[in-house]
Amino acid sequence: MIFIAGISIAVFFELMLLFKKNKTRSDKILVVWMFLISVHMFLFFMNYTKEDLNYPFLLGFGLPLPLIHGVMLYLYVASSTRQLPKKRNFLALHFVPITAAYIYLIPYFLRPAQEKIFIYENNGVGYEIFMKLLFLAYAITGIGYQVWSIILLERHKKNILNQFSDIEKRDLTWLRILLWGMAVIWFVVILDVDDYYDFLTVTFFVFVMGFFGIRQVAVYPQQHGTEQKLKGKYLKSGLKKDASEELYRKLTHYMDEEKPYTKNDLLINELASEFTVHPNYLSQVINEKEGKNFYEFVNHYRVEEFKRLIAIPKNQQLTLLSLAFECGFNSKSSFNRYFKKSTGQTPSQYFSLITSK
């Protein structure tokens, strides 16, 4: 029953992703990956139940497939975090191991059915070295791509703090957890426990991946025209000290007077376009002058604005959350989390403190 359920879940999420509106490149990668997982699970099921002996043309087709999952994981993570190399030739290299494995197996695929069954039932007799190399490749690609993906996610975690004022739907925490879930799958595989439990863990992985993959929105918006125009101009020259001081003065004045932080999804690109500078330089100025990243810089202003508003008696009749939204916070969780990080108190504790005076 678990086999049918697992395959059905994979196909279901594949179709859901296929018909998802406004698909991103990472969504398209996930569609392909879900299809490959569906095929792999089907071949695994046929092998586990020995049904593939009735269809000898299927024998061996599932062997190289584990080599593709690490690649697809990397492509999905790299695409989601905008770290995918632009050179297609480089990307093609990732598919060399699985392509080489299938090319090597062509003579096996062309054998008569009885010969294929004999080799299969005798643990790959005649292909012993190939099988050892294949299982070694499983371990190298599986663990290697997982570590690589974790590195990309850690880099992404730092990147978004310098670009977004709200990271709640962009931090890809679910994907980071899922990567550790994949580690469990590899652990189960290495322990060589019953194939049933292999399939069970993969089914759970597919469910989580499909569920969150469908809900995940694009992490990075399209680049603004201003950034594109300024990219070449500014990256070829340094930001001089006087220019840095002037930009910081303009920035703090703009933050105090215009209060752009009240826009709950404020981007550093938008703020940089107000001063006709590249976002990298604005980020540099914030870091040097404030000792903060963009996320901390903007949310500090939001916390201070909340403190100012809550100190006004007439505002004390309003809910804390409504005031937080007015200050630019996007959710209760992000408000509570950053307020406590900034002040050492929860919003409720701070409110009790100022109203008790």
Percent of the chain with pLDDT over 70: 91
What domains lie within the chain, and their CATH numbers?
A: 2-215 (1.20.1070), 225-355 (1.10.10.60)
Q: What is the mean pLDDT of residues 225-246?
A: 61
CA distances (Å), origin 277, targets 233, 259, 270: 10, 19, 10
Q: What is the mean pLDDT of residues 100-128?
A: 93
Query: Does residue 237 or residue 121 have the better pLDDT?
Result: 121
Can you give the pLDDT at residue 169?
A: 82
- Of the chain, the end-to-end C-alpha distance in Å amounts to 65
CA distances (Å), origin 152, targets 179, 180, 212, 283: 12, 14, 19, 21
Q: What is the mean pLDDT of residues 113-133?
A: 92
- The 3-state DSSP class for residue 224 equals coil
Rounded CA separation 18/33 (Å):
12
Can you give the pLDDT at residue 5?
A: 82
Query: Does residue 226 or residue 356 have the better pLDDT?
Result: 356
User: Residue 87 — φ and ψ, nearest 5°?
Assistant: -75, 115
Mean pLDDT of the chain: 87
Can you give the pLDDT at residue 7?
A: 84
pLDDT band at 210 (very low <50, low <70, confident <90, very high): confident
Can you give the pLDDT at residue 170?
A: 87
Q: What is the mean pLDDT of residues 148-165?
A: 93
Lowest-confidence pick of 36-45, 52-61, 172-181, 233-242: 233-242
CB atoms within 10 A of CB 130: 15
Rounded CA separation 148/114 (Å):
42
pTM metric for this prediction? 0.85
Q: What is the mean pLDDT of residues 349-354?
A: 91
Q: What is the mean pLDDT of residues 266-274?
A: 94
Can you give the pLDDT at residue 230?
A: 43
Checking if the pLDDT of 2 tops 90, the result is: no
Q: What is the mean pLDDT of residues 255-271?
A: 94
Can you give the pLDDT at residue 201?
A: 75
pLDDT band at 43 (very low <50, low <70, confident <90, very high): very high
Can you give the pLDDT at residue 223?
A: 53
Checking if the pLDDT of 91 tops 60, the result is: yes
Checking if the pLDDT of 47 tops 60, the result is: yes
Query: Among the ranges 142-156, 187-201, 224-238, which has the highest mean pLDDT value?
Result: 142-156
Checking if the pLDDT of 75 tops 70, the result is: yes
pLDDT in tens, 272-302: 999 999 999 999 999 999 999 999 999 999 9
Checking if the pLDDT of 129 tops 60, the result is: yes
| Residues in contact with 225: Cβ distance below 8 Å, sequence separation at least 6, in sequence order | none
Query: Does residue 198 or residue 271 have the better pLDDT?
Result: 271
Q: What is the mean pLDDT of residues 51-77?
A: 93
Asked if residue 342 lies in contact with residue 334, where contact means CB atoms within 8 angstroms, the answer is no
